A and B are shown apart, each in its own frame.
Chain A
Amino acid sequence: AQSVTQLGSHVSVSEGALVLLRCNYSSSVPPYLFWYVQYPNQGLQLLLKYTSAATLVKGINGFEAEFKKSETSFHLTKPSAHMSDAAEYFCAVIDTGGFKTIFGAGTRLFVKA
C-alpha cells in the first residue's frame, strides 16, 4: 500500500518568509500526488496535483510543489507567506487500487505578523 509522510506537524513562519512543507511518499510507478489545504472550520480543498506532465506543479494562491523521484519527495513551497495562508496542509497519494486516497497526518502552518 502507498503511504505519505509529512515532516513536522506544525510549521511557523513570519509573514513574507518562505513557506516549505515537506512530504515524502512511498515509491510506486506512477505515484499520483496531491496537496490539499484545510482552512479553519472547513473541509479540504485541492491546492495542486502531480500529473506527470511536469515535475514542478503550480497550484492556487501562489503555491507550488516539485516532484523529485530520486528523493521520493513532493515538498510544497510558497516564496512569500501571507496571513491568509494559515491553515492545515495535507499531502496525499492515490492508493494502488486507484480508488482511495491516502492522506498524510497534516502540517499546520502558522503565519506570524
Chain B
Amino acid sequence: DVKVTQSSRYLVKRTGEKVFLECVQDMDHENMFWYRQDPGLGLRLIYFSYDVKMKEKGDIPEGYSVSREKKERFSLILESASTNQTSMYLCASSRHRGGSYNEQFFGPGTRLTVL
C-alpha cells in the first residue's frame, strides 16, 4: 500500500520558534509538494520539488523554506513561526510523468497551532 507519512498529526509551537515538518513517501516519486489548507481558501501551494536538492516556490512561499536531501523525504521549515502560520499542512507526492499521471498522493496532514 503506497504511503505518504508526516511526522506529526498535531503540533503546538510558540511564536518565534523554528518548526520542522517532515514528510516521507515510499513510492519512489520524483515530485513532492507542501500545501497549507485553510477554511474557504482550499489548498495553497507553498513549495514543491521535482528532484533531490531541487525546489521551486509555490504561490505562498513567504516565511517558509524547504529541504530535500533524499528522494523520499521533503521537509518544510518555518524559520520563525508566527500566529498567521497556524494551519493544516499537507504533503503530497506524484510521479514525474506528465498529464493524468500526475495524480497526487497525500499524507494525513499536520495541524499546526502557533501560540
> Which residues on A are within 8 Å of B, measured CB to CB?
9, 30, 32, 34, 36, 41-46, 49-52, 90, 94, 98-101, 103-106
Contact = CB atoms under 8 A, between A and B. Distances in A.
A25 to B, nearest CB: 14
A62 B104 CA distance: 21
B108 A42 contact: yes
Given A9-B40, A101-B102, A106-B42, 7 more contacts: A32-B99, A36-B104, A42-B109, A46-B103, A100-B33, A101-B104, A103-B42
Contacts of B107: 43
A50 B100 contact: yes
Interface in B87-115: 90, 92, 94, 98-100, 102-109
Interface of B: 4, 31, 33, 40-43, 45, 48, 50, 56, 58, 90, 92, 94, 98-100, 102-109
19 contacts: A32-B100, A36-B104, A41-B109, A42-B108, A43-B90, A43-B108, A43-B109, A44-B43, A44-B90, A44-B92, A45-B106, A46-B104, A94-B99, A98-B99, A99-B31, A99-B56, A100-B33, A100-B45, A105-B40
Contacts of B104: 36, 44, 46, 101
A42 B42 CA distance: 14
A49 B74 CA distance: 26
A100 B58 contact: yes
B102 A32 contact: yes
A43 B102 contact: no
B103 A103 contact: no
Contacts of A100: 33, 45, 48, 58
